Homo-oligomer: A and B are copies of this chain.
Amino acid sequence: MGEGPLAKNKRDIDLKVKQDELESTASRLFLSLGYDGTSMNRIARELGVAPNTLYWYYASKDELLVGVLNRQMSQTLVRLPTIVDKPLKEKMAWALREFEQSRELVATVHARLEQSEVIREWHDQFHRFVEAAVIHTLQADGVARERAAMLATVGTFLVEGLLAHPHSESQREAILQWFTESALPA
């Protein structure tokens, strides 16, 4: 009973390793050249494989993007514990710093929502996750659930807005300051 499953596991591991390699390269290119600016051809060339090889691992470029997004998010999750007990304002500033490198991908995800089922699923799941986390935080600060849900949405929109639009450090500071003190009056 050992061999069959064991061998299968080994294969699965190799698969994950290879996928990780692909996603690492794709991630680097997506972040530097943008999603549209990065062709499957280019990714394959960078990896030293034929372009259609990628399609054995991912059904489409969008699915590859989802892989890259999950990769980014899991890296962010590793750093999450460092700020769990900081105040709301610092949490938001941290989130902004985290996603700033992926700024372009955030816009890409929103633009592809209507055209790609997989992207839409990932996006919805991501938002559910983030909102749940923020709501939890706010409730811990004594905010009622209904209100916490609304404020979580607002906070998310503000972070997305700041990511999408260039702004000065003082602008960011002013917005976060105003939001957090309006949301959590002392």
Q: In whole angstroms, what is the CA distance A154 to B178 when docked?
A: 10
Chain B's nearest CB lies how many Å from the CB of A150?
Answer: 5
- Check if A98 is an interface residue, CB within 8 A of chain B: no
Residues of B within 8 A of A162 (CB): 157
A37 and B174 alpha carbons, distance in the complex (Å): 39
Contact between B175 and A37, CB atoms less than 8 A apart: no
Which 8 pairs show the lowest CB-CB distances between chains A and B? A157-B161, A111-B111, A182-B182, A150-B174, A107-B111, A107-B110, A157-B158, A157-B157
Nearest Cβ distance between residue A154 and chain B, in whole angstroms? 6
Chain B proximity mask over A154-171: 1 for CB below 8 Å, otherwise 0: 101110111011010001
Q: How far, in Å, is A88 (CB) from chain B's closest CB?
A: 15
Indicate with 1 or 0, residue by residue over A15-51, a CB within 8 angstroms of chain B CB atoms: 0000000000000000000101100000000000000
Across the two chains, which residue of chain B brings its CB closest to A155? B161
Known A157-B161, A157-B162, A161-B161; judge A115-B34 contact (CB<8 A): yes
Whole-angstrom distance between the Cβ of A91 and the nearest chain B Cβ:
18
Q: Looking at the assembled complex, report how far the CB atom of A173 sits from the nearest CB atom of chain B, in whole angstroms.
A: 10
Copies in the complex: 2
Which of B114, B154, B165, B171 is the one whose CB lies under 8 Å from A175?
Answer: B154
Within 8 A of B (CB), among A135-186: 150-151, 153-154, 156-158, 160-162, 164-165, 167, 171, 174-175, 178-179, 182
Residues of B within 8 A of A156 (CB): 161
Contact A153 B171, beta carbon cutoff 8 Å: yes
A154: chain B residues at CB < 8 Å are 158, 161, 175, 178-179
Q: Is A108 an interface residue (CB 8 A)?
A: yes
**Chain B residue at minimum C-beta to C-beta distance from A110:** B107
